[in-house]
Amino acid sequence: MTLLRQKSLVIAIAGLLGGLAIATSTPYRPANALSGQSLVFAEQARSTRDARAACLSYGLSPETLGFHQCEATQIDQRMNRRTLIRYVPPAN
């Protein structure tokens, strides 16, 4: 075995063991999506999943152009819903 190969193996094993040590010492905590960007990404993912399910329920094959057009239409409908925002002035 060449010296370069031995050094590469030692570095790779050290990295693997270091990563394993970090992974086992880090306590498990569920994700908490409280930031605005995280909430937007979660909403987009949900809308995409729901759109895909709706188009599949119509019997469209995922490999067709009609399926992709259906998905685009469904996502647009879900993401562009109007939301009523009410402003209530503070009581002074």
Instruction: Using the predicted structure, report yes or no on whether residue 47 has a pLDDT greater than 60.
Output: yes
Residue 30 lies in a domain: no
29-64 burial: b if 16+ Cβ within 10 Å, else e: eeeeeeeeeeeeeeeeeebeeebbebbeeeebeeee
**How many domains is the chain built from?**
1
62: Cα separation from own chain's centroid: 21
Give pLDDT tens digits for 22-44. 555 656 666 555 667 777 788 88
Q: How many CA atoms lie within 13 A of 61 on its CB side?
A: 3
**What pLDDT, on a 0 to 100 scale, did the predictor assign at position 53?**
93
Which domain, by its residues, includes 66? 36-80
Answer whether residue 21 is part of any domain.
no
Residue 67 lies in a domain: yes
Name the nearest CA neighbour of 43 among 85, 87, 81, 84: 81
Q: Is residue 13 part of a domain?
A: no
